[in-house]
Amino acid sequence: MRQRVRKGILAFLALLFPLLFLFLSPFIIVLSAMGGVINGSAIIFAMLFLLSLVGSRLFCGWLCPGGAVQDTASNANDKPWNSSWKNAWKYIIWIIWLSFIILLWIMHKPLKVNFFYMTGINIYIVIIYFIVVSLIYGFTIATGKRGMCHSLCWMAPFMVIGEKIADFLHIPRFRLKADSKACISCGKCNKRCPMSLDVCEMVKKGLIGSTECIGCLECVDTCPKNAISFGISRKTKGRTK
Ligand code: SF4
Ligand code: SF4
């Protein structure tokens, strides 16, 4: 039932993506910065960072329309993407992209805040939309499940940094909890994980702490032995409790 609700929410948000995209765009934030404006995307990325201090990456698993598009593309390629650098690329791209935006903001001071800047529909926005959606589809089909989340997502680093800061400051946040004794190594959790994580191995170690976990709860709902649960808690000596 829970997964039906999650997938229903994602499917609905995928329908709204042509509108939501304007507030999650990695390009419109740059165009806005060139005009000296802090736009809706910038404000939402800041909110995602703040939410991740408690909510970790629940946005990715439950609310991201880009994730929903990728889940659809996974019908064409549902293999895990096995590349040793797959998770590193997004941070390299993100640092360059964010540095460029900050530089533009500094160059165009004083800045104005306009949440709805460049949210009118015109031919350029339509072209940008199709480029982004094609990139998400094409990349996921070429790489595998949630390939873009792993390697290209410009929002994920904000949330991973939020998780790290929460752990550093001992702020309780959303976590999975593992009962290693209950696990029978059936591997069902691995098959269901949209981020292709080795959940079984993490459970056996009593630790599910990957920054690639998007909190979708597929593993919780599929485990026949209830070896995985979830809750809000502080980090304790590298283990989730
Ligand atoms: S580890 Fe579990 S909650 Fe995290 S992404 Fe994989 S299936 Fe979802
Ligand atoms: S589904 Fe549950 S029992 Fe099976 S490997 Fe995963 S954690 Fe262990």
Protein residue with its CA nearest to atom 6 in ligand 1: 193
pLDDT of residue 237: 60
Rg of the chain (C-alpha set): 19
Residue 58 Cα to ligand 2 middle (Å): 21
Q: Would the pLDDT of 238 be above 60?
A: no
Q: Which two tokens stand for residue 224?
A: 């026949």
Averaged pLDDT, 183-198: 94
Most confident by average pLDDT, 29-33, 72-76, 231-235 = 29-33
Instruction: State whether the Cα torsion 64-69-75-79 is positive or negative.
Output: negative
- Please report, for the chain, the start and end positions of each structural domain, with discontinuous segments joined by +: 2-163, 172-240
Protein residue with its CA nearest to atom 1 in ligand 1: 213
SS3 state at 189: helix
- H-helix segments, 56-180: 58-62, 65-73, 89-107, 123-143, 147-151, 156-168
For residue 6, give the amino acid letter: R
- On whether the CB atoms of residues 97 and 154 are closer than 8 A, the answer is yes
Averaged pLDDT, 165-191: 94
Q: What is the CATH number of domain 172-240?
A: 3.30.70.20
Ligand 1 proximity of 195 Cβ (cutoff 6 Å): yes
* pLDDT more than 70, % of the chain: 98
- On whether the CB atoms of residues 53 and 158 are closer than 8 A, the answer is no
Query: DSSP string covering 85-121, please?
Result: TTTTHHHHHHHHHHHHHHHHHHHTPSPEE-TTTT-S-
Ligand 1 proximity of 218 Cβ (cutoff 6 Å): yes
pLDDT of residue 240: 43
pLDDT band at 120 (very low <50, low <70, confident <90, very high): confident
Ligand nearest to the CA of 212: 1
C-alpha span between 210 and 169 (Å, rounded): 18
pLDDT digits (tens, 9 = 90+) for 175-184: 999 999 999 9
pLDDT digits (tens, 9 = 90+) for 144-154: 899 999 998 99
Q: Ligand 1, residue 176: give the atom nearest the CA.
A: 3
- On whether the CB atoms of residues 162 and 50 are closer than 8 A, the answer is yes
CA triple 44-39-49, angle to 5 deg: 25
pLDDT of residue 241: 38
| Pocket residue to mutate for ligand 1, from 74, 176, 204, 229, most atoms within 8 A of Cβ | 176
Chain mean pLDDT for the chain? 91
pLDDT of residue 112: 94
Q: Would the pLDDT of 135 be above 50?
A: yes
Q: Ligand 2, residue 185: give the atom nearest the CA.
A: 5
C-alpha span between 225 and 216 (Å, rounded): 18
